[in-house]
A and B are shown apart, each in its own frame.
Chain A
Amino acid sequence: GQSLEQPSEVTAVEGAIVQINCTYQTSGFYGLSWYQQHDGGAPTFLSYNALDGLEETGRFSSFLSRSDSYGYLLLQELQMKDSASYFCAVRSSSGGYNKLIFGAGTRLAVHP
């Protein structure tokens, strides 16, 4: 089967750095994506890692270790608008076709 684990909630203050971890189990692994979803909104794509290492996009960075089946999303210089749910998602060919499977999400609360 497939499974993803990420913390349910994280709290931080403005200006701080927060790391959201994700561990996964799947066959036919291609890569790990991260999505942000504000309450009542659509999930929006943040990043994708197919290879080991760190990908940086502005204040957000994402890391993948394929050998450890582990990744994380790093958010720097936190702003109030970063309060949202963050989902890791594996792209997998399990079952014979490409699909994106999401974790349960991490709710990030940023406080002044």
Chain B
Amino acid sequence: ETGVTQSPTHLIKTRGQQVTLRCSSQSGHNTVSWYQQALGQGPQFIFQYYREEENGRGNFPPRFSGLQFPNYSSELNVNALELDDSALYLCASSPYAGVNTGELFFGEGSRLTVL
């Protein structure tokens, strides 16, 4: 069983640029959540996708957007990058019922540095 995979693992961008991060969910999982984790902090909920529809969003501006594809893989797009966007971006998948157990399966994350 393949776990959650994310790409790229590390990337460096400059202010104002755009970035796309990718996530392949675990086999059989149809729900994907994205989190932002700043150094020394807990993961902050960005949004969640279920069957290709966004069904929940945290306190992030519209320049954070996403997609979920028919195979349940997902993308996180961030436009007009700011220095504060530097963080580890975590993707987590679950079978929808998995949300009812509080268990998410996380990928290793994409480390974004904005200069």
Q: Are the C-beta atoms of A99 and B101 separated by less than 8 Å? A: no
Q: How large is the interface on B (under 10, 10 to 19, 20 to 34, 35 or more residues)?
A: 20 to 34
Question: What's the tally of chain A residues with a CB closer than 8 Å to chain B?
Answer: 24
A97–B90 alpha-carbon span in the complex (Å):
20
Q: Interface residues, chain A, CB within 8 Å of chain B? A: 30-33, 41-45, 48, 50, 87, 89, 91, 95, 97-105
* Interface of A (DSSP majority class): strand
A44–B105 alpha-carbon span in the complex (Å):
7
Contacting B56 at CB < 8 Å: which of A50, A99, A104? A99
Q: Which residue of A lies closest to B43 (CB)?
A: A102
Q: Interface residues, chain B, CB within 8 Å of chain A? A: 4, 33, 35, 40-45, 48, 55-56, 58, 90, 92, 99-109
Q: Are the C-beta atoms of A97 and B103 separated by less than 8 Å? A: no
A103–B40 alpha-carbon span in the complex (Å):
11
Q: Are the C-beta atoms of B106 and A42 separated by less than 8 Å? A: yes
Q: Are the C-beta atoms of B48 and A97 separated by less than 8 Å? A: yes
Neighbouring A residues of B58 by C-beta, 8 Å: 99
Contacting B42 at CB < 8 Å: which of A32, A98, A102? A102
